């Protein structure tokens, strides 16, 4: 995240950092940002980042990256926001995950419309185009009512 923040700032872009106090105390904060917002918890961090964001892109990363992506994607599925969610599948990093997501659609745990809400691209330019062109699907029930 620090490298991306530095690259954006070096080209005149704006970077807003959101970090919980506990990580600031461990000296993990990027102190070179013009706007660093310190919150009390990870939950507050995610909520504020979701509020500030126009879209969500997961770059190759670990558990925290996946957890944050799945949370905002679930929020989109539930209609809490209409912002695009995406994976940048650099060097095929997310190919296995993408295949698994297709599998859970096949197994009827996720509706195809909800799977289609997650954009997956291997290159930055097509990803940015897909984000720009994104239209959230009409709100759908994420589970069907049981019939007796």
2-12: burial string, b at 16+ Cβ within 10 Å, e else: eeebeeeeeee
Q: Which of 91-95, 122-126, 133-137, 143-147 has the lowest mean pLDDT?
A: 143-147
The pLDDT tens digits of the residues spanning 4-15 come to: 889 999 999 999
The pLDDT tens digits of the residues spanning 58-82 come to: 999 999 999 999 999 999 998 899 9
**Domains defined along the chain, listed by start:** 1-6+14-52 (no CATH), 55-135 (3.40.50.450)
Q: What integer pLDDT is reported at residue 146 of this predicted model?
A: 55
Q: What integer pLDDT is reported at residue 106 of this predicted model?
A: 97
Residue 45 has pLDDT above 60, yes or no: yes
pTM: 0.86
Q: What integer pLDDT is reported at residue 96 of this predicted model?
A: 98
Tokens 């209609």 belong to 79
The pLDDT tens digits of the residues spanning 79-105 come to: 899 999 999 999 999 999 999 999 999
Which of the four pLDDT bands, split at 50, 70 and 90, describes residue 141?
Answer: low
Residue 3 has pLDDT above 80, yes or no: yes
Distances 121 to 30, 35, 42, 128 between C-alpha atoms, Å: 28, 29, 28, 9
């Amino acid at each position: 995240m620090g490298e991306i923040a530095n690259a954006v700032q070096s080209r005149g872009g704006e970077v807003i950092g959101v970090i919980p106090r506990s990580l600031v105390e461990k000296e993990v904060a990027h102190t070179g940002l013009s706007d660093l917002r310190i919150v009390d918890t990870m939950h507050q961090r995610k909520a504020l980042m979701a509020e500030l964001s126009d879209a969500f892109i997961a770059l190759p990363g670990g558990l925290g990256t996946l957890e944050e992506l799945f949370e905002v994607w679930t929020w989109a599925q539930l209609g809490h926001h209409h912002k695009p969610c995406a994976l940048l599948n650099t060097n095929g990093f997310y190919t296995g995950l993408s295949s698994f997501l297709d599998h859970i659609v096949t197994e009827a745990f996720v509706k195809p419309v909800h799977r289609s809400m997650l954009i997956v691209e291997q290159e930055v330019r097509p990803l940015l185009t897909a984000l720009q062109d994104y239209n959230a699907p009409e709100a759908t029930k994420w589970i069907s009512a049981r019939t007796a």
